Amino acid sequence: MSFLHQTLIPYKMQVVLRKSKSPRRSMNYRQVRLVGIIFTMKNLDDYEAIRQFESRLKKEGKEVVVLCYLPKNVENFDFHYDIFSKNDFNFWGSPEANNLQEFISKPFDLLICLDRAPNLYIEYLLARSRAALRIGPYLDRQKGIFELMIKESAEKPLADFIQQIYHYTNEL
């Protein structure tokens, strides 16, 4: 990550969060129709857990859109998801790729971040999102990104974190 991105993106994110006019609300899980999932590709086990989660949501009649951050030197296990990298952000830290612009503009009922420590690029996309309810990990340093934060040990498998998210969303 470039020094300029490390400096500009957090500043821009705070401005976006402060000026956001997107209506945030919760709704009964049965009423949820459009779900967004964003995550970082790390390993094959995590990828499989995410595929199963996506499949479960689709079986329940939800439309699911998944966006994957692909770090440098990490293999893309499948071309099933839209992917992005730091190269999809311009010099000033703004997303330029079409798939990022579309993801930001979608009016998700739920937007779920499956990274327990999201990077700045994912945090910025979450901040810019028009999602009604953003769900993700508990973050001490960044409280304005999520409406619902779930605290889960980073040592546990991603499947456990996904199960916690599924449990709490079903309680809505």
Q: Total domain count for the chain?
A: 1
What amino acid is encoded at 167 in this protein? H
For the chain, the C-alpha Rg in angstroms (whole number) is 15
pLDDT of residue 171: 85
CA distance 52 to 91: 36
What's the CATH number where 54 sits? 3.40.50
pLDDT of residue 150: 93
pTM greater than 0.85 (yes/no): yes
Inter-CA distances, 73 with 8, 99, 131, 137, Å: 25, 21, 31, 25
pLDDT of residue 1: 60
Domain that holds residue 143: 3-170
What amino acid is encoded at 141 in this protein? R
pLDDT of residue 10: 76
pLDDT, block means (10 residues), the chain with 172 residues:
72 73 82 97 90 97 96 77 92 92 96 94 94 92 84 89 94 80
pLDDT of residue 3: 66
CA distance 157 to 162: 9
